[in-house]
Every structure is written in C-alpha cells, then in structure tokens.
Amino acid sequence: MKSTEETRDARRSFPTLAREIVARSDAADQRLRRVPFYRRLLTGKVTREEYADWLIQLHKYVHLTAPASEQALADAMAARAAGDDAEAAQLRAYALECAREETGHDEMLIADIANLFGVSRDEAFGRVAREADAPSVLAYKNLLDTMHARFPEGIIGVGLALQNLAILESDEIRAGLIERSGIPGIEGAVVFLKGHSGEVEAWHAEEDAKSVSWIHTAKERAAILFFADLSLALFEGIAFYLNEKHDGPLVEAISESEQTLEPALTMS
Ligand SMILES: [Fe+2]
C-alpha cells in the first residue's frame, strides 16, 4: 500500500493537463476547508441528518454520472477505434472498464442512507427523491446532457478532479465520522467513502492521467478542463448549499470561527 506522501508525489509526473486539473482540485480542497459545514464534515462533527443531507446530494449527481458517462465515452471512441486509431481503442477499452467498475456506486450511497436511518432501500431512495437538488447539482445535471451528447471525453476531467478531492479528503472524513460523530451504526454508513478511499482513487487518478495523453485535439482537451472545473463547482456548490442550510450565512460563520477575514471576503 502506498503512503499518502507517495500518492501525492505520484501526481507530479502526470501529463501537464492532468497536473493543471490536480492543481485546481488542490485549490478547491483548500477553499472547501474554509466552509464551516465542510470543516465539520471533515472532523466528524456532524449530526446524522447533516451527514445524510451530504450523501443525498452526492447520490443526485453520482447516479447520473456513473456509469453512463463512461459508456458515452466508450461509444464515442468505438467508431474511431474501428478505423486504425490505436489510442481511441485504448480509451474505449479503458472507458468500458471504468463503466463496469463504477456500476453500483450510486447504490452504495443508498445503502449508506438506509443504514443511517435503519430503513429499507426504497425508503432511503424516497428520501433522496423528496430532497431538493442543490443549485449546483441541478446546473450540473443539465450540462451533463451536453457532455454526453457533445463532449464525452469531459468525463476524464470530472474523474480526475473528483478523484483528487477524494485522495485529499475521503479517508479523513471517514475517520472523523467513525471516531467523533457518535452517530449510532456509523461504520455501516461509510461504504461509499470506503469505496472511494485515497488508495483506490490514487490508482484511478494515475490511470485517468494516462488517458489524458491519448487525447490530442484542442476541443477535447478544452472539454476535459471545463468539465473538471464544472465538477469542482458542483462539489463546492453542494458544500456551500449545506453550509447555508445548516450553519447559516458563510461569511459571518467564517469570520466568527477564524476571527480575521481574508481580503477577498471583506465587504469593502
Ligand atoms: Fe465511484
């Protein structure tokens, strides 16, 4: 098993576009750590309802993204691979492997929600359906249709960005919840986080970084970067929404907990 430092070092050898995405998701991680709700999540200081609210928003985008986006990429590569494009064939095979691997990840979230409340799968699914989408989730859903139809390679950027956040955060969130939340039965409600541990996601990120080097056109590379940014905006948008819902207005909360405000957040 690789140490956290080895995992983080490995990212330095990624192709430049992949390194740019890693740098942007590192910055997103830093911004997330300034959001009081998210900081409580990282340290396990959330209630059962608050943790469930986060899982619900994750489910709302995960079940649309995986495995459908990988399948869309594989389909797009199929025609090129039928010609003499060896890289398209490699990318198609890789996307199909990812589609297979991602199947059922949305159900991990439903299982976590069901276990949190001691209810059936159907009841957990009902909770997800009844809860409103965070604005960023709703916007992401609409752009996801465009990605599938026009820029299926964008999923590589989404994957890299969110895998990098998982490398930086998922083990910390899981440990915090188990050690400090005091939520009854929490060990049975961190299946999704365990399935997306730093070690698992580091392997995926290395593979995704490799696949970036098979993409050469300006349009496709721009799509990869745009959809990476979009997925970070989606994720931060969820944290911001849940902060407003549970912790109150962000600027005041940061000012109270940090005493000093960064210049960018002051109302001058
Ligand atoms: Fe997944």
The CATH number of whichever domain residue 91 belongs to comes to 1.20.910.10
48 C-alpha to center of ligand 1: Å? 22
Q: What is the pLDDT of residue 263?
A: 46
Rounded distance from Cα 142 to ligand 1 centre (Å): 20
- Is 102 a member of any domain? yes
Q: What is the pLDDT of residue 1?
A: 56
| The pLDDT value given to residue 260 | 46
Range of the domain at 131: 4-256
Tell me if 261 is assigned to some domain: no
Distance 61 CA to ligand 1 centre (A): 11
**Exposed/middle/buried for 90, CB within 10 Å: 0-12, 13-18, 19+?**
middle
Q: How many angstroms separate the alpha carbon of residue 233 from the centre of ligand 1? A: 18
How far is the centre of ligand 1, averaged over its atoms, from the C-alpha of 231 (Å)? 14
- 17 within a domain of the structure (yes/no): yes
pTM of the shown model: 0.89
In a domain, 207, yes or no: yes
Q: Is the pLDDT of residue 132 over 70?
A: yes
Q: pLDDT band for 84, please (50, 70, 90 cuts).
A: confident
Q: Does residue 265 form part of some domain?
A: no
Supply the mean pLDDT for the chain. 91
Kindly state whether residue 262 falls inside one of the protein's structural domains: no
Taking each helix axis from N to C end, the angle separating 48-65 and 68-82, rounded to the nearest 10 degrees, works out to: 20
Q: What distance in angstroms lies between residue 207's CA and the mean position of ligand 1's atoms?
A: 14
State yes or no: pLDDT of 243 exceeds 50: yes
pLDDT at 70 over 60: yes
Question: Which of left, alpha, beta for 100 (phi over 0: left; psi -120 to 50: alpha)?
Answer: alpha
Quick one: pLDDT at residue 14? 76
Dist. CA 83 → ligand 1 center (Å)? 31
Structure tokens at 34: 């300034």
Residue 62 alpha carbon to ligand 1 centre in Å: 8
Q: How remote is the CA of residue 226 from the centroid of ligand 1, in Å?
A: 20
Compute, in angstroms, the gap from residue 240 CA to the centroid of ligand 1: 22
Q: Please give the distance, rounded to the nearest whole angstrom, from the Cα atom of residue 206 to the centre of ligand 1.
A: 15
Q: Calculate mean pLDDT across residues 151-155.
A: 96
Give the confidence band of 65 by pLDDT, cuts at 50, 70, 90: very high
Average pLDDT over residues 183-187: 97
Ligand 1 centroid, distance to 66 Cα (angstroms): 7
For the chain, the three-class secondary structure string (H helix, E strand, C coil) is CCCHHHHHHHHHHCCHHHHHHHHHHHHHHHHHCCCHHHHHHHCCCCCHHHHHHHHHHHHHHHHHHCCHHHHHHHHHHHHHHHCCCHHHHHHHHHHHHHHHHHCCHHHHHHHHHHHHHCCCHHHHHHHHHHCCCCHHHHHHHHHHHHHHHHCCCHHHHHHHHHHHHHHHHHHHHHHHHHHHHCCCCHHHHCHHHHHCCHHHHHHHHHHHHHHHCCCCCHHHHHHHHHHHHHHHHHHHHHHHHHHHHHCCCHHHHHHHHHCCCCHHHCCC
Residue 264: inside a domain, yes or no? no
Q: Is residue 250 part of a domain?
A: yes
Q: Tell me how crowded residue 130 is: count the other CB atoms within 10 A of its CB.
A: 8
φ, ψ dihedrals at 225, nearest 5°: -70, -40
Supply the pLDDT for residue 264: 45
Q: How far is the CA of 102 from the centre of ligand 1 (A)?
A: 5
Q: How many domains does the chain have?
A: 1
Ligand 1 centroid distance, CA of 252 (Å): 34
Share of the chain above pLDDT 70, in %: 89
| Cα 81 to ligand 1 centroid, rounded to whole Å | 26
Give me ligand 1 centre to Cα 191, in Å.
11
What's the pLDDT at 265?
A: 45
The pLDDT score that the predictor gives to residue 8 is 65
CB atoms within 10 A of CB 177: 23
Ligand 1 centroid to residue 196 C-alpha, Å: 6
Neighbours of 171 (CB within 10 A): 18
